[in-house]
């Protein structure tokens, strides 16, 4: 990678891979969760993530590129951590651990989408900037919902 455009495209492929990996992980999280509101949050976020993948396809189209992913080691690590929690924890510890793992994923996504959005702006990709801003707003809202769920319910158990 030698240019900002190269970094932008690489990171876009990275987050596309990540979102697709997340769609495979969220059903496992929903199944493992014992707290009904956490289970519902995972199910709701799965639907939102599918929409984000569709939006990412529009981003690729808007910059004249084919939508394709490139393996994202960061998301692989975060999802592996969640798998470990599902295998080792139970009860309240399971729900608290899963919630924290979901927030780690959200924080990663917020960092990626924030960078992508700003790079799109600098590169003059106005449509991509708009679409990436929409996804970033969704990710921030999901993180806020998870924080609220942790503070008001799961962590108090």
Give the span between the Cα atoms of 86 and 97, in whole angstroms.
8
The confidence score (pLDDT) of residue 91 equals 87
The mean pLDDT of 146-151, rounded to a whole number, is 90
The mean pLDDT of the chain is: 95
The mean pLDDT of 50-70, rounded to a whole number, is 97
The confidence score (pLDDT) of residue 150 equals 87
Is domain 4-151 classified as CATH 1.20.1260.10?
yes
Percent helix, strand, coil in the chain (nearest 5)? 85, 0, 15
Q: Please give the helix or strand (H or E) that residue 46 lies within, else none.
A: helix 36-62
The confidence score (pLDDT) of residue 151 equals 86
The mean pLDDT of 12-31, rounded to a whole number, is 97
Give residue 156's pLDDT band: very low, low, confident or very high (50, 70, 90).
Answer: low
The mean pLDDT of 105-123, rounded to a whole number, is 97
């Amino acid at each position: 990678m030698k240019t900002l455009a190269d970094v932008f495209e690489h990171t876009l492929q990275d987050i596309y891979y990540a979102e697709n990996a997340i769609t495979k992980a969220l059903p496992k999280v929903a199944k493992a969760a014992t707290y009904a509101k956490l289970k519902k949050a995972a199910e709701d976020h799965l639907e939102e993530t599918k929409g984000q993948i569709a939006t990412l396809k529009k981003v690729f189209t808007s910059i004249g590129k084919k939508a394709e992913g490139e393996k994202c080691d960061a998301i692989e690590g975060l999802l592996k951590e969640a798998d470990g929690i599902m295998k080792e924890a139970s009860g309240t510890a399971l729900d608290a651990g899963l919630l924290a793992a979901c927030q780690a994923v959200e924080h990663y996504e917020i960092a990626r989408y924030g960078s992508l959005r700003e790079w799109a702006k600098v590169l003059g990709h106005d449509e991509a900037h708009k679409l990436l801003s929409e996804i970033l707003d969704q990710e921030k809202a999901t993180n806020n919902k998870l924080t609220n769920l942790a503070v008001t319910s799961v962590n108090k158990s």
